[in-house]
Amino acid sequence: METTTQTLTMPLMHVYHLTYDGTNTGHTLEEVTELMKEYGSEHQIEITVTTTVSEPPAGEQTVDVSSEEVSDEQTLEEKIADGYNPDARDGDGDGIVQEGTKWERPVDTEM
C-alpha cells in the first residue's frame, strides 16, 4: 500500500480531534491537551500527517472531485419568489419599503 504525507497548519482544536479520531498527527492527545492549555484552542501549529492510500478495487476508477464554493445567498429569482420586490415603492413616505416583511429596508437599498 502507498502512503501520502502532508504538512498542514491548523488550530490545536482540529489537531486534537484528528488525533482523537486516530489520525497520526505526530502528537498524543496528552501533548495536544497541554498545548491547548498553554496557547489556547485556536493557536495554529504545523503537523505532518501520513495516511495510507489503498488502491481502488480492480475495474473501478478514481474520480477527482473538486470542491466548489457554495453560497448561502439566494439568487434574485429566489428572493422574488420569496416575496422580495426589487422595485418596491414607499407608499407612506417614511423612507421604508416592504414594511413588516423580512425584506423591509430603507428606500433605494437592495438586498
Judge contact between 26 and 47, C-beta under 8 A: yes
**Residue 95 lies in domain:** 73-105
pLDDT at 30: 94
pLDDT at 34: 94
Among residues 6, 18, 4, the alpha carbon closest in space to that of 53 is found at 4
Give the pLDDT of residue 65: 67
> How does pLDDT run along the chain (111 residues), one tens digit per residue?
688 888 889 999 999 998 888 888 889 999 999 999 999 999 999 998 887 877 766 666 666 666 666 667 888 888 888 888 888 888 888 888 888 888 888 888 777
Does residue 86 fall inside a structural domain? yes
11 contacts 42 by C-beta, under 8 angstroms: yes
| pTM greater than 0.95 | no
* 8 and 47 housed in the same domain: yes
Residues 77 and 37 in one domain: no
